[in-house]
Amino acid sequence: MKTLHIVKIGGDIIDREHTLREFLSGFLKVEGPKILVHGGGKAASTLSERLGIQPRLVEGRRITDADTLKVITMVYAGLINKQLVAMLQNLGCASIGLSGADAALLPATRRSSAPVDYGFVGDIEPQDVNLPVLCSLIDAGLVPVICPVTYERGAGLLNTNADTVAAALAIALSACYTVNLNFCFGKKGILKDMEDENSVMEQLSEKEYLGFKKEGIVSKGMLPKLENAYRSLRNGVADVRIGQAADIELMIKKEKGAGTAITL
């Protein structure tokens, strides 16, 4: 099977123009079929603040109310998605920006309101991804640029975690490709010592991870990324790496020192 590279970038990359440009020029050099999944960044919070939408948090997690969903749709599916597409086109990369509603790419299920009602938040299952449309776009030589605005059939738009979107896409596409999934963020990989930027783990097995998690060594923000990484590996994804956006080219070449290889 052909190899497909899925790369997810978070808000910390999108918010820094130099870092983003550096990432995109690396992403451009990734050969073969590829998909870019992007999160949000500060623009959504900034816009919410400017509009006077008060963030509502439950147990430290933000609630997506109707107004917040509108902001997310505007910022993720509108501003960031189209700016990324335009930047890629300028680099000569034929890309197409999509939300999960487009061509019913990512049908989601609204999360149960019990025990906590997170609002317009959806979860997706890999088997629900619209593979035929996605594959035909890739076959046409286009690079899908996908934002985590999903869609519930019979209802409307939903907000989904971008790491979860990347993992669901990776698992679904493993049916037709050897999938290589890369989570890019600001750090060089998973750090052994949070205080030492150079203490990057070369690899992290699930067993080690569970031990670190128990000891509280892994930072809270990394948990969804890592849970999605192991879920992907258990469901057919060939390779998962977590590393620095600027290193994307090296990560894909599986060069030593470029990110942390996640293993079962």
Chain residues in the site for a second copy (CB under 8 A): 47, 50-51, 70, 73-79, 81-83, 85-86, 89-90, 94-99, 101-104, 133, 136, 140, 142, 149, 151, 153-157
* 58-81 residues labelled b (16+ CB within 10 A) or e (exposed): eeeebebbeebbbbbbebbbeebb
Please tell me the distance from the alpha carbon of residue 200 to that of residue 221, in angstroms, as a whole number. 16
Nearest CB to a second copy, comparing residues 115 and 154? 154
Nearest CB to a second copy, comparing residues 54 and 89? 89
Q: Which residues contact 46 (CB under 8 A, 6 or more apart)?
A: none
Nearest CB to a second copy, comparing residues 120 and 230? 120
Nearest CB to a second copy, comparing residues 83 and 205? 83
Min dist CB 8 to a second copy, Å, is 20
Min dist CB 36 to a second copy, Å, is 13
Min dist CB 56 to a second copy, Å, is 19
Amino acid at 251: M
Min dist CB 210 to a second copy, Å, is 38
The residue among 168, 149, 141, 188 whose CA lies nearest residue 236 is 168
Phi–psi pair at 177, nearest 5 degrees: -135, 160
